[in-house]
Structure 1
Amino acid sequence: MRDAFEPYSPLNVLKPFADGVWIVDGPEIAMGYLGLKLPFPTRMTVVRLPDGGLWLHSPIALDHALAEAIAALGPVRHLIAPNSLHYWWIPDWAARFPGAQVHAVPGLDRAAKRPLPLHRVLGDTSDPAWADAIDQVLVPGGLLTEADFFHRSSRTLILTDLIENFEPRRIRSRLLRTIIRWSGAADPDGKAPIDMRLSFWRHRRTLRTAVRRMIGWAPERIILAHGRCYDRDGIAELKRAFRWAV
């Protein structure tokens, strides 16, 4: 059965995105959305910290060759579950790299449908382990809580679901294209899908503060978990994608 999305080939391969930053595109998964099971492409981010250790954001399904390629870059020190949806493969990576510290957003230990390893809770300021390289903000919401990160030296912002930017030309199903366009998550005007935007209504002040903080970091690039990333014009893309919030 062919994928619903044209893949960001090659899959399960480290792709340089900025100095000391790589992305890895993974296979599709099915996720619940508005009562439906919809396909989503997956993507993880790898950052090399100043001490040479590696920081893995939103790990995708564990692949042996990929794990070996990552291990060749340096010791895996941190595994990040950045929101209450992106955590499923953390236990597999923790088993593969038992020396790595797991970090997860608040409340995920109670909400997760798969037991998580012992972990540190992500807060609104950077963990001391990466504070010299990566800034951090916590965005609590009704549908999900997300921690977002800014790699200072490369000026790369790392988001998960607060912006989704699916490219219609990569979507094979006409129905799926229609759903994604209706949700507001289609390139070139990708943003949080409509249900997520509505879920932030009660948290809009906190969200607005977090977005302004991200804009203040002045990112050049933005990595997204779903859809086309932004390799330039990061500030303009943030202001566009979050115009509903600020």
Structure 2
Amino acid sequence: MFRVDAYEPIGTLKPVDDDIWIVDGPVIGMKWLWIELPFPTRMTIVRLADGGLWVHSPVALSGGLKAELAELGPVRYIVAPNKIHYWWAGEWQIAYPDAIALAAPRVAEKAHGITFDRELTSEPEDVWAGEIDQVLVPGRFMTEAVFFHRSSSTLILADLIENFEMKKVGGGIARMLYRLAGVAAPHGSMPRDLRATFAGHEAEVKEAVETMISWEPVRIILAHGQCYEENAVDELRRAFRWAGVC
């Protein structure tokens, strides 16, 4: 009924800056209110100083992507940043059994059949401290772990901001729904239904976003929709005005 075009080509590395790449994945269906809307997917890969690969919100793993990764380095860390972004983590664990799987709080309660080695906190793991910063953003429905790749000044989000380009959305009704949800580019934000689950946690959200701002990011990688290649701090202030960020 509804259509959103994927960010072709999918399943292949796309460089962002030195030692950081995105991989656009397939379009999946996600429930919004009483209907299912299509969402393009995206993962982020960082090559750490020791050569190991850090994988954020993994998408479907193809043979071609696996071959590309083999040329970059060994997959050492698989990160599920919230309880929605774990879908393909199990597939990656099977493909890379020596990798350490980490998840935000409460992911394990949803990701049945997937075992994670550790739960993420607001303190970076020792193995990537100094290269990737992180902070937790807590809510009633879920907590999201947000990351900042220092050397490229890149902030990495999952669902805290979604930014759908209307030119990729098929049909007037679908475009209307994405606008109602508050996720239409270039003024993307947290979907309004998800935002409602952070009611009562505005102070914690504000504190976390102010931490993100203090990192002085240049760009923001998003899991759904168009990324922000510049003016990252201004976009954070705009998108989280509802939480008191100014």
* TM bin (shorter chain): over 0.9
Q: After TM superposition, list the pairs within 5 Å mapping 1:103-142 onto structure 2.
A: 103-112=102-111, 114-142=112-140
Cα distance in 2 for partners of 1:119, 1:135 equals 19
Partner amino acid for 1:178? M
Structure 2: tracts of 5 or more residues without a match: none
Q: After TM superposition, list the pairs within 5 Å mapping 1:31-46 onto structure 2.
A: 31-46=30-45
Shift of 1:143: 2.5
Cα distance in 1 for partners of 2:141, 2:174 equals 21
Shift of 1:6: 2.2
CA contact (8 A) 2:103 2:116 kept: no
Structure 1: tracts of 5 or more residues without a match: none
Q: Equivalent residue of 2:31, what SS?
A: strand
Cα distance in 2 for partners of 1:57, 1:29 equals 17
1:234 alignment counterpart: 232
Cα distance in 1 for partners of 2:136, 2:207 equals 10
1:152 maps to 2:177: no
2:176 alignment counterpart: 178
Cα distance in 1 for partners of 2:51, 2:96 equals 16
Partner amino acid for 1:229? C
CA contact (8 A) 1:6 1:170 kept: yes
Cα distance in 2 for partners of 1:6, 1:193 equals 19
Shift of 1:173: 2.4
1:75 alignment counterpart: 74
CA contact (8 A) 1:83 1:146 kept: yes
Q: Equivalent residue of 1:176, what SS?
A: helix
Partner amino acid for 2:199? W
Provide closer, same or farther for how the CA distance between residues 203 and 83 of structure 1 changes in structure 2, counting only shifts above 3 A: same
- State the identity %: 51
Q: Equivalent residue of 1:244, what SS?
A: helix
2:159 pairs with one of 145, 158, 161: 161
Q: Could you report, residue by residue, the CA deviation over 1:30-63 in whole angstroms, capped at 9, with x for unpaired residues? A: 1112132211101000001111100000000121
2:99 alignment counterpart: 100
**TM-score (norm: length of structure 2):** 0.96
CA contact (8 A) 1:94 1:117 kept: no
1:50 alignment counterpart: 49
Q: Could you report, residue by residue, the CA deviation over 1:100-126 in whole angstroms, capped at 9, with x for unpaired residues? A: 0000011211222x3112321000111
Cα distance in 1 for partners of 2:81, 2:162 equals 15
2:242 alignment counterpart: 244
Q: Could you report, residue by residue, the CA deviation over 1:114-152 in whole angstroms, capped at 9, with x for unpaired residues? A: 311232100011111111200000011123210000000
Partner amino acid for 1:183? A
Cα distance in 2 for partners of 1:223, 1:57 equals 11
CA RMSD of aligned residues (A): 1.3
